[in-house]
Amino acid sequence: MLETSARLLRLLSLMQTRHDWGGNELAACLDVTPRTVRRDVEKLRSLGYPINSVGGVGGGYQLGSGACLPPLLLDDEEAVAVAVGLRTAAAGTVTGIAETSARALAKLDQMLPARLRARINSINSALVALPALGSTIDPATLTAIASAIRTHERLRFDYRGIRDASRREVEPYRLVHNERRWYLFAWDTAREDWRTFRVDRMDLRVPNGARFRPRPLPDEGVAQYVTLGVTTRAHRYQAVITMHAGAREVADEVPAYLGLVEPVDDHTCVLRIGSESLDQLAVWVAAFGFDFEIQEPPELVAHLHTLTARLQRAADASKGT
């Protein structure tokens, strides 16, 4: 009986890690026969767990949603990660999550063995989370977007852009977080192109739109595409600058929400950065503390000469004070 119970818990844990499982895959992971898996699935169903059968060659199973949340089975490292994540969630960019995070952490703390509680307490005692700056978002909005991504349903929403407001219908693909804000990466059906939207500027409409067939993602990858979209493409001036330092050194000085750093070799990298102001661009690249060469735009090169002359006059004038 103990062996069967342990196997049932292991089966439930496996089914929580993936949406679909083949019967033969589960049998191999549990080192049992497919017939034993079928019997164990029936036992879990009799205990109230909604496990759906999947047709096709070999068959399979899905752990569905039910009237209550099944036990969440975590190994040691997963438990530590969840506890630390809940501890820092209160200072995040999602509104209304502090109290619920505290309640969830209290429940988890009751179940933790002493060895893990000591590890988590040592991390928490050394951890200080700075409060989030700028706009925050409703967790229900993130949930609705994530659900549409999973089920391949179009999203309809009103969008408050920098310059104007518009109504959009998109095929959602990814949610991206860059430490300051949440973004939706999606295919804009009206503009027939990839677009990045700030989630805090979206007002979702219900119900969702029609289901869609997913299309191939951009070659450069979602993270790079979104980073370029929010740091460079969205601005009037888009600079490409060769930095005479390694990518890791430059990235330590240039936050991900400010520019994209691309390595060239151990001692050189390319910085892509944008702004509405040439003055701001010039000051930024000069203040990063590395030698550099401007590849684009030519207006920035001319502006650097103007700014350099201005700074020299200020320095000369200050000698007499």
List phi, psi (to 5°) of 89: -65, -30
Are 217 and 257 in the same domain? no
Domain boundary among 229, 261, 279: 229
Domain boundary among 11, 31, 63: 63
CA-based nearest residue to 93, from 41, 132, 129, 146: 132
Are 160 and 196 in the same domain? yes
Are 169 and 100 in the same domain? no
CA distances from 201 to 20, 96, 137, 314, 321 (A): 34, 18, 9, 42, 50
Are 155 and 225 in the same domain? yes
Domain boundary among 186, 211, 229: 229
Query: Is residue 204 in a domain?
Result: yes
User: Rg for the chain (alpha carbons), in Å?
Assistant: 26
Q: What is the pLDDT of residue 210?
A: 93
Q: What is the pLDDT of residue 1?
A: 42
Q: What is the pLDDT of residue 202?
A: 94
CATH code of 33's domain: 1.10.10.10
196, 220 Cβ separation under 8 angstroms: no
Is residue 178 helix, strand or coil?
coil
Q: What is the pLDDT of residue 220?
A: 73
CA-based nearest residue to 201, from 236, 235, 160, 168: 160
Q: Which residues of 283-294 are buried (b: 16+ CB within 10 A; e: fewer)?
A: ebbeebebebeb
C-alpha–C-alpha distance, residues 309 and 215, integer Å: 51
Q: What is the pLDDT of residue 213?
A: 93
Query: Is residue 210 in a domain?
Result: yes
Query: Is residue 31 in a domain?
Result: yes
C-alpha–C-alpha distance, residues 285 and 283, integer Å: 6
Domain limits for position 17: 2-63
CATH code of 263's domain: 3.30.70.250
Task: Tell me which DSSP letter residue 202 carries.
Answer: E
Burial class of residue 156, CB neighbours in 10 A (0-12, 13-18, 19+)? middle
**Which are the contacts of 265, defined by CB distance < 8 A and separation ≥ 6?**
none
Are 310 and 247 in the same domain? yes
In the structure encoding, which two tokens stand for residue 188, read together?
Answer: 């804009």
Query: Is residue 290 in a domain?
Result: yes
CA-based nearest residue to 12, from 29, 2, 1: 29
Per the structure, how many domains does the chain have? Answer: 4
List phi, psi (to 5°) of 265: -150, -165
pLDDT under 70: residue ranges of the chain: 1-2, 56-58, 65-72, 88-93, 95-99, 102, 129-135, 179, 320-321
Query: Is residue 264 in a domain?
Result: yes
Task: Tell me which DSSP letter residue 232 carries.
Answer: I
Query: Is residue 131 in a domain?
Result: no
Are 145 and 219 in the same domain? yes
Residues linked to residue 261 through DSSP beta bridges, in sequence order = 271
Per-position DSSP letters for 122-146, written without gaps between them: HHHHH--PPPP-S--B-HHHHHHHH
Q: What is the pLDDT of residue 182?
A: 86
List phi, psi (to 5°) of 264: -110, -55
Query: Is residue 156 in a domain?
Result: yes
C-alpha–C-alpha distance, residues 81 and 120, integer Å: 9
First CA to last CA across the chain, in angstroms? 90
Query: Is residue 321 in a domain?
Result: no
Are 164 and 106 in the same domain? no
Are 147 and 225 in the same domain? yes
To the nearest 10 degrees (0 to 180), the angle between helices 2-15 and 23-30 is 130
Are 255 and 224 in the same domain? no
